[in-house]
Structure 1
Amino acid sequence: MNVFAELHAVVIAALNELVEEGALPAGLSFEGVAVEPPRDAGHGDMATNAAMVLARPAQKKPRDIAEALAAKLARDARVTEAAVAGPGFLNLRLAASVWRGVIPAALAVGSDFGRSTVGAGQKVNVEYVSANPTGPLHVGHTRGAVFGDALAGLLDFAGYDVTREYYINDGGAQVDTLARSVYLRYLEAHGKSVEFADGTYPGEYLIEVGQALKDKVGDAWIDQPEEVWLSEARAFATDAMMALIREDLKALGVEMDIFFSEKSLYGTGRIEAALEALQAKGLIYEGVLEPPKGKLPEDWEPREQTLFRSTAHGDDVDRPVKKSDGAWTYFAPDIAYHFDKIERGFDQLIDVFGADHGGYVKRMKAAVSALSDGRVPLDIKLCQLVKLYKNGEPFKMSKRAGTFVTLRDVVDQVGPDVTRFVMLTRKNDAPLDFDFDKAMEQSKDNPVFYVQYAHARVCSALKRGAEAGVDVSDAALATSDLSLLETDEELGLLRKLAEWPRIAEGAALAHEPHRIAFYLYELASGYHALQHQGKLDTALRFVREDAPELTRARLAMIRTTAVVIAAGLGILGVTPAEEM
């Protein structure tokens, strides 16, 4: 049940009638016609922009269109008022029965209420986290992991076929640095004195890896040159770090479908194949880039390179894919990796990057556009920085990590549910302040507590209803006399519940899971206000032994609230609390 979609269909049908009658010209596009909640709730339950968007192409005054449309809509039994406002805005009020209908619709399908088929089974690849396998995940990775996982859950809820993917950056020089760092810990495990320099990783997390390497190879690598041990140490260290990362993700409740190794692209012809596909389109050439704008670096000199003509697909400048010495640039394997995704048959690609990857957006979109001939859209979501606070002060770095706060530091402090919800209380491209004290506070100012507490309070009220002899099964509650729900506050809560399918679908189409967190907070606020009224006036309580039918109706209403909260939290990967 999507009330807004249903009324949108009614509006479109009415517009088609106006076309058939000659009141509107044929051939109009109704694509821009929307039915949404009005900005001011006092204006009605819904509003449509139909007259405003059709006025120019129809060459008519918007108010004339709105009045003709209002006359059509007023005939629908669900519409109690269709009022034209201003130059041509059309506000609608709906019968209370429409809002009450959300209860049996939701109770019939439970947590599937709000699911849609807008995705139509399209295959979507969501790549997120993709941290260098050089250590534990830090708090920046945490935000990307939560955002990516919630987005994947949201798309699944909207009917897409979703693949969650992690790209292991194990093909670059940073993994050689990891191998050298592990080798130092290996020497330490043999009682040798070592010094971490030249950018090596000093974190304590490598102590166990060094000991494990000692257990595997004994003293065979002591005093041996790099060519003896680097390759094997690299593979050993990468495996150890990926095991650590998998455990970190598990602690956060994130499970990937695919871990794709960058290293698998090298020496296999896959990079060459991707560039040949671009070359066949005339997009690879030998050339010299323009000098960088501003003050030139002292070591800059014009040199011929192999370039991708990314400007042909919206980029600002063409990009090098091979250096003058014949080595691949970092961009080349990324092109090959996305070519692999396209070849796997995905209809959409989504990459979740950290804030420091902003300069990578245009070139990567250009590559995917070129490789797929514009068929496969790529959406890149940048997650901005997270600032951590505790006791009013910035949260200190992790000794274990050496230089940063880890995902485990955050999860160990507040748990995975709080971590996930708080990370979604801001849009991904806005900075986020994560205050540990507020995250654990039991108040309205803590959104995760406020939402979970609403669900727990519903569970408590249902338990009281059962103790009073009410059958609180969904099937029984769905048959309640819902006409007894008639106060403004009750109907207000039902209106908010009816928004859920529209909110979930819109968030999925926009790739914005934070909308779910915002909606859940608003829904919880409406519920808490209603329960508070019952404390002030016993006649408004959910469970009234003197009014069993009214009790059943109200329990049906709040059970529906719990269903929607549980569905929304499920998308975000947060467990709904049954008691607090």
Structure 2
Amino acid sequence: MNLFDDIRGLVLDALRGMQAEGALPDALDLGNVAVEPPRDPAHGDMATNAAMVLAKPAGMKPRDIATVLAGHLASDARIDSAEVAGPGFLNLRLAPALWHEVLRAALRQGKDFGRSEMGKGLRVNVEYVSANPTGPLHVGHTRGAVFGDALASLLDFAGHDVTREYYINDGGAQVDVLARSVYLRYLEAHGQEVAFADGTYPGDYLKPVGEALMREVGTAYVDQPEAVWLAEVRDFATDAMMALIRDDLAALGVEMDHFFSEKSLYGTGLIEAAIEDLRGKGLIYRGVLEPPKGKMPEDWEPREQTLFKSTEHGDDVDRPIMKSDGGWTYFAPDIAYHYDKISRGYDILIDVFGADHGGYVKRMKAAVSALSDGRVPVEIKLCQLVRLYKNGEPFKMSKRAGTFVTLRDVVDEVGADVTRFVMLTRKNDAALDFDFDKVLEQSRDNPVFYVQYANARVNSVLRKAGAAGIEAGDAALSGADLSVLTHEAELSLARKIAEWPRQVEIAARAGEPHRVAFYLYDLASELHGLWNRGHDDPSLRFLQEGDPATSAAKIALVRAATVVICAGLGILGVIPVDEMR
């Protein structure tokens, strides 16, 4: 039940009625008519911009349209009052029975309350994390993993068919460096003294990999030239690192639907097929790029290259796809990978990148636009840096990696649920401060505690209701007489619950799961506020001694709130708690 959609439908019906009676022109586009919460709750329950957006195309004054529209709406039993404000906004107050119906819908639909069909029929591929398989995931990957996973869950909740995908960057030179690093640990496992050259990976996390390789091949590679062992060690090390990465993601509650190997693009004709597709569209040519703007690099020289004409699809400059030695640039396999995703029939592609990939956005959008003939949009979400603090000081050192803080360091310190919620308390493209001390505080300033505490409080009420012999199952509560819920504080909580379906669609449309975290905090604040008012006003307490019918109504209200809290936490990948310890 989306009450905002229902009232918008009522407004649209009223506008069509005005057209039928000649009060509005027939040929008006009603698509921009919206119904939303007013900026000031004192102005009403909902507001519509109908008169403001229709005035100019109708050639009428906004207040004139609003006045007639108010008359139409006020005659409906669902509307208590319709008042014209300012230049032509229309504020609506709804009949209390509507809020009661929202509560019943939440209790009856349970975890499905707020689900949308907005994305019905749309297949979405969300690619996230996609770290090089050269070491454990660090805290930057953690934010991308949480954001991507929550975004995928949000889109699923809004009706999309979602695939979670990890692109394994195992086709470049970095995996050769990994192999050489593991070989050094292999020699170390055989008792040899080793020295890590510049560019190799000295982290302790490779010690068990070297030991495992020793158990696998014995002395077969000891003192052998690189040509003997490089390919085999590269595969062995990549598999070991991907197993480590999978374990790290599992600790965070992230499970991928599909892993795609970059290496599978080479020698299979996939890169060539993607480039030929672009060539057939006249977008591949030999040419010389203009020198870069700003300070000229010392090694820059004009030379003919094989280029993708990405400027025809919105990029700033055309992009090289082949190196002077005839090998592919790093951009070519990325083109082929997205060509493969398009061929799998996805309607929308979403890539979640780190902040350092900002310069990659336009070229990737251009490639997907060209490959799909503009049919498939690609959205690229950049996740900004995470700054870690502990004991008031920046926290930088990892126990295992030696040079950075790993995902496991964070999860082991505060837990997966806290990590996930806090990572979603800022928009993805804003920097995030993660203070290990503050995220474990039991205070209103800690949003994850505040939301979990709201759920735990209601569960304590449910336990007390059961002990008092009050039937507090959702089915029984949905049949309670909710007409006794008349206090403004109770209706305010019901209004906030009613916003949930609308918030889901807004967040999904914008691709912003942090909106869910913000909404849950506001909902928890309403619930805690009602709880606290019961200290001074006994009539607002959820359990009314000697009055099981009124108790059931009040419990239904707060239980509906936790139905939404649990659904929202589910989208964020956070497990609700029934009691605080």
TM category, shorter:
over 0.9
- TM-score (normalizing by structure 1): 0.99
* Aligned equivalent of 2:381: 381
Q: Which residue of 2 aligns with 1:23?
A: 23
1:447 partner amino acid: P
Name which of structure 1's ranges 39-48 and 203-212 shifts more when overlaid on structure 2.
39-48
Q: Is residue 310–residue 366 contact of structure 1 (8 Å, CA) maintained in 2?
A: yes
What residue is the counterpart of 1:70 in the other structure? 70
Aligned match of 2:531: 531
Counterpart Cα distance in 2 of 1:121 and 1:529? 41
* CA distance in structure 1 between the aligned counterparts of 2:512 and 2:54, rounded to whole angstroms: 29
User: Is contact 1:203–1:399 with CA below 8 Å preserved after alignment?
Assistant: no
Q: Which residue of 2 aligns with 1:367?
A: 367
Q: What are the equivalent positions in structure 2 for 1:124-143 lying under 5 Å apart?
A: 124-143=124-143
- With the length of structure 2 as denominator, give the TM-score of the two structures: 0.99
Percent pairwise identity: 73
For structure 1, which segment, 218-227 or 238-247, has the greater mean C-alpha deviation from structure 2 after superposition? 218-227
On the 8 A contact 1:303/1:324 being kept in 2, the answer is no
Moved more, 71-80 or 123-132: 71-80
**How far apart are 1:399 and its partner, in Å?**
2.9
Equivalent residue of 2:437, what SS?
Answer: helix
Q: 5 Å matches for 1:493-512?
A: 493-512=493-512
2:108 aligned partner, one-letter code: A
Structure 1 residue 81 displacement after superposition? 1.1
Instruction: For 2:278 and 2:31, locate their aligned partners in 1 and report how far apart those are by CA, in whole Å.
Output: 35
Q: Distance in 2 between matches of 1:315 and 1:507?
A: 28
1:103-114 maps to which residues of 2 (within 5 A)? 103-114=103-114
Offset of 1:301 from its aligned partner?
A: 0.7
CA contact (8 A) 1:128 1:352 kept: yes
Query: Is 1:355 the counterpart of 2:380 in the alignment?
Result: no
- Where do 1:32-71 residues align within 5 Å? 32-71=32-71
* Aligned counterpart, 2:343: 343
CA distance in 2, matches of 1:281, 1:11: 48
The separation in 1 between residues aligned to 2:25 and 2:445, in whole angstroms, is 53
Give yes or no for the alignment of 1:521 onto 2:521: yes
Cα offsets for 1:157-189 (capped at 9, x unmatched)? 011000000000000111111111101111111
How far residue 332 of structure 1 moved from its aligned partner, in angstroms, is 0.4
- Which residue of structure 2 aligns with residue 470 of structure 1? 470
Per-residue displacement from partner, 1:57-101 (whole Å, max 9, x unpaired)?
112111111112111111111111111111111111111111111
1:257 alignment partner AA? D
User: 1:184-263, aligned counterparts within 5 Å?
Assistant: 184-263=184-263
Q: Quick one: distance in 1 between partners of 2:373 and 2:434?
A: 42
1:283 to partner: Cα distance: 0.7
Matched to 1:113, the amino acid is F
User: How far apart, in 2, do the equivalents of 1:388 and 1:172 lie?
Assistant: 30
Is contact 1:141-1:407 (8 Å) kept? yes
* Alpha-carbon separation, structure 2, partners of 1:80 and 1:250: 51
Report the secondary structure of 2:315's partner residue.
Answer: coil
Query: What amino acid is the match of 2:53?
Result: V
* Conservation of the 8 A alpha-carbon contact between 1:468 and 1:545: no
Paired residue for 1:559?
Answer: 559
C-alpha deviations, 1:229-268, integer Å up to 9, x for none?
1111110000000000000000000000000000000010
SS class of match (2:287)? strand
Deviates more, 1:134-143 or 1:25-34: 25-34
Partner of 2:489: 489
State the distance in 1 between where 2:314 and 2:64 align: 42
Alignment of 1:317 with 2:317, yes or no, is yes
The alpha carbon displacement at 1:520 in A equals: 0.3
Counterpart of 1:541? 541
1:298 Cα shift?
A: 1.2
Superimposed CA distance per residue, residues 99-151 of structure 1 (whole angstroms, 9 cap, x where no aligned partner): 11111111111111000111113100000000000000000000000000000
Partners in 2 of 1:545 and 1:49 — Cα distance?
46
Task: Choose 55-64 or 129-138, whichever is displaced more.
Answer: 55-64
Give the superposition deviation at 1:220. 1.6
Aligned match of 1:418: 418
Report the AA paired with residue 542 of structure 2: F
Residue 536 of structure 2 aligns to which amino acid in structure 1?
Answer: L
**Residues 466-504 of structure 1, C-alpha deviations (whole Å, 9 max, x = no match):** 111100111111111101011110000000000011001
Cα contact 1:2–1:502 (8 A) shared by 2: yes
Cα shift at 1:404: 0.5
Moved over 3 A (4+): none
In structure 1, give the amino acid aligned to 2:316: D
Secondary structure, counterpart of 1:291 in structure 2: coil
Q: Secondary structure at the match of 1:132?
A: coil
Cross-structure match for 1:93: 93
In the TM superposition, residue 28 of structure 1 has moved relative to its aligned partner by 1.4
- Structure 2 CA distance, aligned partners of 1:20 and 1:333? 58
Query: After the TM superposition, which of the residue ranges 8-17 and 329-338 deviates more from structure 2?
Result: 8-17
Q: Report the Cα offset of residue 439 of structure 1.
A: 0.7
Q: Which letter does structure 2 place at the counterpart of 1:26? A: D
Asked if 2 retains the 8 angstrom alpha-carbon contact of 1:342 and 1:376, the reply is: yes
Describe the superposition over 1:274-312 as per-residue Cα deviations: whole angstroms up to 9, x where unpaired. 011111111111111111111211111111111111111
Please state if 1:396 is matched with 2:396.
Answer: yes
Q: Which residue of 2 aligns with 1:171?
A: 171
Match of 1:436 in 2: 436
CA contact (8 A) 1:107 1:560 kept: yes
Q: Which amino acid aligns with 1:56?
A: K
- Shift of residue 572 of structure 1? 0.5
Cα shift at 1:20: 2.0
Following TM superposition, by how much is the alpha carbon of 1:396 offset from its aligned partner in structure 2, in angstroms?
A: 3.1
Alignment-mate amino acid for residue 441 of structure 1 = E
Tell me the distance in 1 between the aligned counterparts of 2:359 and 2:288: 20
Displacement of 1:537 in angstroms is: 3.0
- Over aligned residues, Cα RMSD in angstroms? 0.9
Counterpart of 2:23 in structure 1: which amino acid? A
Q: List gaps (5 residues or longer) in structure 1.
A: none
Equivalents in 1 of 2:30, 2:538: separation in Å?
Answer: 50
Secondary structure, in 3 states, of the residue corresponding to 1:293?
Answer: coil
Q: What letter is aligned with 1:69?
A: L
How far apart in 2 are the matches of 1:294 and 1:343?
39
Q: Find out whether 1:7 has 2:14 as its counterpart.
A: no
Once the two structures are superposed, what CA deviation does each residue of 1:338-360 show, in whole Å capped at 9, x if it has no partner? 01000000010000000000000
1:305-347 Cα shifts (integer Å, max 9, x gaps): 1111111111111111111221101110000000100000001
CA distance in 1, matches of 2:545, 2:121: 48
What is the rounded CA distance, in whole Å, between the counterparts of 2:22 and 2:282 in structure 1?
A: 51
User: Counterpart of 2:482 in structure 1: which amino acid?
Assistant: L
Q: Is the 8 A contact 1:166 1:258 kept in 2?
A: yes
Secondary structure of 1:341's match?
A: helix
The equivalent residue for 1:282 is 282
CA separation in 2, counterparts of 1:322 and 1:490? 65
Distance 2:283 2:18 in 1: 50
The amino acid that maps onto 2:380 is I
Please give the secondary structure, in 2, of the residue aligned with 1:83.
strand
Question: What does residue 152 of structure 1 align with?
Answer: 152
* One-letter code aligned to 1:454: A
The CA distance in 1 between the partners of 2:294 and 2:451, in whole Å, is 51
Distance 2:527 2:541 in 1: 12
Q: Separation in 1 of the partners of 2:507 and 2:386?
A: 22
In structure 2, how many angstroms separate the alpha carbons of the residues matched to 1:23 and 1:280? 55
Distance 2:307 2:345 in 1: 27
> SS of 2:382's equivalent?
strand
Whichever residue aligns with residue 24 of structure 1, its letter is L
Give the Cα–Cα distance (whole angstroms) in 2 for the partners of residues 125 and 540 of structure 1: 47
